[in-house]
Amino acid sequence: MERLMFICPVTERRVDVGVETEINTLLRIRSKTLRAKCPLCGEWHEWPVGDAYLPEPATSAGSKAGSD
């Protein structure tokens, strides 16, 4: 499952609104709109699902180039 992240139009920061989806579902609903209360500013926003970001994968110290 992937967590969807959006940009808060008030703070202009990435926000996790608590929605998880599978990639196949995300592709099916990308033309839809999600309405949620923003945990950063407290306002309700509507975001196009197609504008969602997926969280960047965490990198481990062992995966850095040149580390042995």
Let me know the angle formed at the C-alpha of 52 by 47 and 54, rounded to the nearest 5 degrees: 155
Let me know the angle formed at the C-alpha of 49 by 19 and 9, rounded to the nearest 5 degrees: 90
Query: Which one is the CATH code of 2-56: 3.90.380, 2.30.30, 3.40.50, 1.10.1660?
Result: 2.30.30
Asked whether the beta carbons of 43 and 60 are under 8 A apart, the reply is no
> Three-state DSSP class for 65?
coil
pLDDT in tens, the chain (68 residues): 888 999 999 999 999 989 898 889 988 999 999 999 999 999 999 999 999 988 877 665 544 444 44
Whether this model's pTM surpasses 0.75: no
Domain boundaries, the chain: 2-56
Spatial distance between the Cα atoms of 25 and 39, rounded to a whole number of angstroms: 24
